[in-house]
């Protein structure tokens, strides 16, 4: 299956996005499609063997929209700016003509109620009816001109039986204009009473108000994607590289992998790489959300768009272009902003039927009132009001705008949600399961104790264990090798190496059979650990991991290793508990070591001596109890568990495969961001519910009022102009509510002291 994203132009409301989804989903070879009204993008999953992307584009264009290949965000920004400028210009022109139109139409009406305002005598509708009507017609024509798109798009989609919001506006205002033109003809024929049945000002003001709403909506939409724009704007345009013995400045696109890049104090890192020379502190807040600069020396990794705060450094370019961490973050956020949350399904279903239903309601209510009153003007008022008050825009914008703002705000805080589904699911989590090494702890274990068996030297114990572990990638093995090298011990080459996951290693060292591993592993190999069991238990109670070593079947000694607990871990667990969540630590450590660590950080439950391949099974067992489970991990062996969990949360400093398997990535590698991610999810879902409540509630209440439901009881009749104003403001209110999520701040352990 292939996934592609298309820019879709011409959508004005949820009916448009729902229509595109229905059309594309019917195509043979398309397995999934999601259209985001707010970002104007369609994400399509299809089988290239069955259908070409050109066929999909043609289907979208036949439906009345434009399907374009995605452009870089900088291009999107300039296009958005042009769109906003054009909309404001159209509104200004419409307002310039509709304001005097409304004035000359309303003043004579106000005069009848004793309110006198300055008014040209030559336009008195009672004495100069035809001039009055023609002036109104001339004033409304420019307004119709700047709002021509409502008619070209609205009637085209109506003709194709796919009406949208433009269709509602086009039908309503056209009815008002045509009825007014007819009455102007009546006046010209001597029927002066028809001057009271002119609706030119209604049509003009409706178009003007909707253009105002569209302009405000475009501005608000632009603000929902500000996080992406900020991220894209962080990357420098040039880089200084050392070539042929001299430093030259080149465009960022000309940097090659392997180039030696020079960055002076205050400069931006142009690409990802590894420091070769120099020492500095790098401000990585734009990627991780962490305000404190990070110390960098030879061997440290640096990332594009971060700021070199102090010393000059030289580094080797390792990742360029779309491979940099910044580019990948932008891609993840774009994908998340273009995705849909399951909560949006109800709005999608309603949107698909909304406009046709509104058209039917408008026709029936107008016809019913005409049948009752025989008053054409009254029935027309009802008909137009129902059409223009209906707002499918608010329904379509309720969910995607909240997701766009939330994912963008999360990215600014170093919390990356990979999609709307992950963002929604996180608020349902009841259990948070955590890997220990690298998640709760620093992930850099070090040797704390060496206890040799009787007659064995300590250096002999360490050197033989380190030689056996030299080919191992396990963190405990790395700690043993690191300690041996720190002491300057000579390590013999290991032969016939074999690693048993979760148990230990076996190797041949200088003709001797060496085994290094857990007590269980030793027992399985028939080695007696009784002489050192007391020491093992003592060290385990202190939270240290113990590893036995044996040569040719005889116990050689015991090595204790400790992995420091991250400073924020206990506070993060406490915060999760405050949120009403159950915490479970999953580790391969023995029970006593695991319990010791659990006691220090305050987790509710501990699952110890769990093999790497069994972590996913443990997640399944937790899910079998009816709870939604989040799993937090960072290692390669965490990938199955991350994928199995309802929400997989990867620590950003972990392995790429773990990050790829996760639904949420914490760039700061701080456990305190786990509750922050869940809080952001809860805040977002609350915001979406508010938006949907407002969108549905507005239409449920507004349409019946516009249809005249209250008129028989209270004499309340909704003027079409007020209906248009309410419709425009409904979309803006939904967008404004979504933008409140920009104020979300992810709590940091350091900020809490």
Stronger pLDDT, 228 or 309, i.e. the higher one:
309
Give the model's pLDDT for residue 75.
45
Q: What is the DSSP string of 334-355?
A: HHHHHS--GGGHHHHHHHHHHH
Q: Where are the beta strands (DSSP E) in 488-532?
A: 494-500, 504-509, 512-517
Give the rounded distance of the alpha carbon of 175 from its chain centre.
42
Give the torsion through C-alpha atoms of 10, 12, 14, 19, to 10 deg: -30
CATH of domain 2-70: 3.30.70.100
Cα-only R_g, the chain: 34
Which of 49-53, 131-135, 443-447, 510-514 is predicted least confidently? 443-447
Q: What is the DSSP string of 271-330?
A: SEEEEEEE-EEEE-HHHH---S-EEE-TT-EE-TT-EE-SS-EEEEEEE-GGGSHHHHHH
Q: What is the DSSP string of 523-546?
A: HHTT---GGGHHHHHHHHHTT-EE
Give the model's pLDDT for residue 145.
93
Q: CA-CA distances (angstroms) from residue 691 to 21, 69, 87, 278, 581? A: 22, 31, 25, 52, 27
Positive or negative: CA dihedral 40, 44, 50, 53: positive
Give the model's pLDDT for residue 359.
85
Give the pLDDT confidence of 346-393 residue by residue, as tens digits: 666 776 677 788 888 989 999 999 998 888 888 888 888 888 787 666
Which of 7-11, 53-57, 480-484 is predicted least confidently? 7-11
Give the pLDDT confidence of 281-306 residue by residue, as tens digits: 888 766 665 556 778 888 888 888 88
In the chain, domain spans: 2-70, 73-224, 236-321, 411-441+566-678, 446-562
Give the model's pLDDT for residue 636.
61
How sure is the predictor about 144, in pLDDT bands with cuts at 50, 70 and 90?
Answer: very high
Highest mean pLDDT among 85-94, 106-115, 301-310: 85-94
Look at residue 328 and tell me whether its pLDDT is greater than 50: yes
Look at residue 583 and tell me whether its pLDDT is greater than 90: yes
Give the pLDDT confidence of 229-261 residue by residue, as tens digits: 666 666 788 889 998 888 898 888 888 999 999
- Tell me what the mean pLDDT of segment 699-722 comes to: 83
Sheet with strand 246-251: strands edge to edge? 246-251, 238-243, 260-263, 313-319, 272-278, 301-302
Q: In the chain, what percentage of residues exceed pLDDT 90?
A: 14
**Residue 728 to residue 695: CA distance in whole angstroms:** 12
How sure is the predictor about 135, in pLDDT bands with cuts at 50, 70 and 90?
Answer: very high
Say if residues 669 and 435 touch (Cβ distance below 8 Å).
no
**Residue 108 to residue 565: CA distance in whole angstroms:** 80
What residues act catalytically?
Answer: 435
Say if residues 209 and 721 touch (Cβ distance below 8 Å).
yes
**Residue 700 to residue 155: CA distance in whole angstroms:** 25
How sure is the predictor about 113, in pLDDT bands with cuts at 50, 70 and 90?
Answer: low
Give the model's pLDDT for residue 752.
43
Instruction: Give the architecture (CATH level 2) of 411-441+566-678.
Output: 3-Layer(aba) Sandwich (3.40)
Stronger pLDDT, 94 or 472, i.e. the higher one:
94
Say if residues 381 and 720 touch (Cβ distance below 8 Å).
yes
Look at residue 224 and tell me whether its pLDDT is greater than 70: no
* Check whether domain 446-562 has CATH 3.40.50.12280, yes or no: no
Positive or negative: CA dihedral 424, 425, 428, 431: negative
Give the pLDDT confidence of 597-642 residue by residue, as tens digits: 888 889 999 988 887 778 888 888 999 988 899 999 876 667 788 8
Which of 25-29, 272-276, 460-464, 650-654 is predicted least confidently? 650-654
Q: Is 376 helix (H, G, I), strand (E, B) or coil?
A: helix
Which of 128-142, 161-175, 214-228, 310-324 is predicted least confidently? 214-228
How sure is the predictor about 339, in pLDDT bands with cuts at 50, 70 and 90?
Answer: low
Among 306, 301, 316, 325, which residue's Cα sits nearest to residue 267? 306
Topology of domain 236-321, CATH? 2.70.150
Give the model's pLDDT for residue 289.
52
DSSP classification of residue 196: G
Say if residues 271 and 340 touch (Cβ distance below 8 Å).
no
Q: Which long-range contacts (CB under 8 A, 24 or more apart) does 451-456 make?
A: 451/532, 451/535, 451/557, 451/558, 451/559, 451/560, 452/556, 452/557, 453/531, 453/532, 453/554, 453/555, 453/556, 453/557, 454/531, 456/556, 456/557
Residue 79 CB burial class (10 angstroms; 0-12, 13-18, ≥19): middle
DSSP classification of residue 564: P
């Amino acid at each position: 299956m292939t996934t592609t994203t298309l820019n879709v132009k011409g959508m004005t409301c949820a009916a448009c996005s729902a229509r595109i989804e229905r059309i594309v989903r019917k195509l043979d070879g398309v397995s999934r499609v999601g259209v985001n009204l707010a970002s104007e993008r369609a994400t399509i999953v299809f089988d290239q063997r069955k259908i070409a992307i050109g066929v999909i584009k043609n289907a979208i264009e036949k439906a009345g929209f434009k399907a374009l290949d995605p452009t870089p965000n900088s291009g999107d920004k300039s296009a958005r700016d042009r769109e906003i400028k054009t909309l404001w210009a159209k509104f200004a022109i419409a307002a310039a003509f509709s304001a005097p139109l409304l004035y000359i139409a309303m003043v004579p009406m106000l005069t009848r109620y004793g309110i006198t305002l300055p008014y040209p005598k030559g336009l008195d509708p009672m004495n100069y009816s035809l001039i009055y009507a023609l002036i109104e017609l001339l004033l409304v024509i420019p307004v119709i001109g700047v709002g021509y798109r409502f008619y070209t798009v609205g009637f085209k989609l109506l003709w194709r039986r796919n009406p949208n919001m433009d269709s509602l506006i086009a039908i309503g205002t056209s009815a008002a204009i045509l009825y007014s033109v007819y009455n102007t003809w009546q006046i010209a024929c001597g029927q002066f009473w028809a001057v009271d049945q002119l609706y030119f000002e209604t049509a003009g003001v409706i178009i003007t108000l909707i253009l105002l709403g569209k302009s405000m909506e475009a501005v608000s939409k632009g603000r929902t994607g500000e996080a992406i724009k900020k991220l894209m704007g962080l990357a420098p345009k040039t880089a200084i590289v050392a070539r042929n013995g001299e430093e030259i400045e080149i465009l960022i696109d000309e940097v090659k992998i392997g180039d030696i890049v020079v960055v002076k104090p205050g400069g931006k890192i142009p690409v990802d790489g590894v420091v070769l020379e120099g020492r500095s502190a790098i401000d990585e807040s734009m990627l991780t959300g962490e305000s404190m600069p990070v110390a960098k020396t030879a061997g440290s990794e640096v990332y594009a768009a971060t700021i070199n705060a102090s010393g000059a450094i030289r580094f080797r370019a390792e990742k360029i272009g779309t491979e940099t961490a910044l580019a990948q973050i932008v891609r993840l956020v774009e994908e998340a902003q273009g995705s849909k949350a399951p909560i949006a399904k109800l709005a999608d279903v309603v949107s698909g039927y909304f406009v046709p239903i509104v058209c039917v309601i408008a026709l029936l209510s107008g016809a019913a009132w005409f049948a009752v009153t025989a008053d054409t003007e009254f029935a027309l008022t009802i008909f137009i009001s129902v059409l223009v008050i209906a707002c499918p825009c608010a329904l379509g914008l309720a969910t995607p705008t909240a997701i766009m703002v939330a994912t963008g705000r999360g990215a600014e805080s170093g919390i990356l949600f990979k999609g709307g589904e992950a963002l929604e699911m996180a608020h349902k989590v009841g259990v948070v399961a955590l890997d220990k090494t690298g998640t709760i702890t620093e992930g850099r274990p070090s040797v704390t104790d060496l206890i040799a068996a009787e007659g064995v030297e300590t250096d002999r114990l360490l050197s033989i264990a380190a030689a056996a572990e030299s080919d191992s990638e396990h963190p405990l093995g790395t700690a043993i090798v690191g300690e041996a090298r720190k002491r300057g011990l000579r390590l013999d080459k290991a032969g016939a190496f074999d690693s048993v996951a979760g148990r230990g290693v076996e190797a041949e060292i200088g003709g001797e059979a060496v085994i290094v591993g857990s007590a269980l592993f030793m027992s399985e190999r028939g080695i007696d650990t009784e002489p050192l069991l007391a020491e093992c238990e003592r060290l385990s109670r202190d939270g240290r991991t113990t590893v036995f070593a044996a040569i040719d079947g005889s116990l050689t000694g015991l090595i204790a290793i400790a992995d420091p607990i991250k400073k924020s871990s206990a506070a993060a667990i406490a915060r999760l508990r405050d949120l009403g969540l159950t915490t479970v630590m999953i580790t391969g450590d023995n029970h006593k070591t695991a319990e010791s660590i659990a006691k220090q950080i305050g987790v509710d439950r501990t699952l110890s001596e769990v093999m790497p391949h069994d972590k996913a099974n443990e997640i399944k067992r937790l899910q079998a109890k009816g709870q939604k489970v989040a799993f937090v991990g960072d290692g390669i062996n965490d990938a199955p568990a991350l994928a199995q969990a309802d929400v997989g949360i990867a620590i950003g400093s972990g392995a790429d495969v773990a990050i790829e398997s996760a639904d949420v990535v914490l760039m700061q590698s701080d456990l305190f961001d786990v509750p922050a991610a869940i809080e952001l999810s809860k805040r977002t879902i609350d915001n979406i519910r508010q938006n949907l409540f407002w969108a549905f509630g507005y239409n449920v209440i507004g349409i019946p009022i516009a249809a005249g439901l209250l008129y028989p009881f209270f004499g309340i009749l909704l003027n079409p102009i007020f209906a248009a104003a309410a419709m425009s403001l409904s979309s803006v209110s939904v967008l404004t509510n979504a933008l409140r999520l920009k104020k979300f701040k992810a709590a940091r352990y350091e900020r809490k002291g």
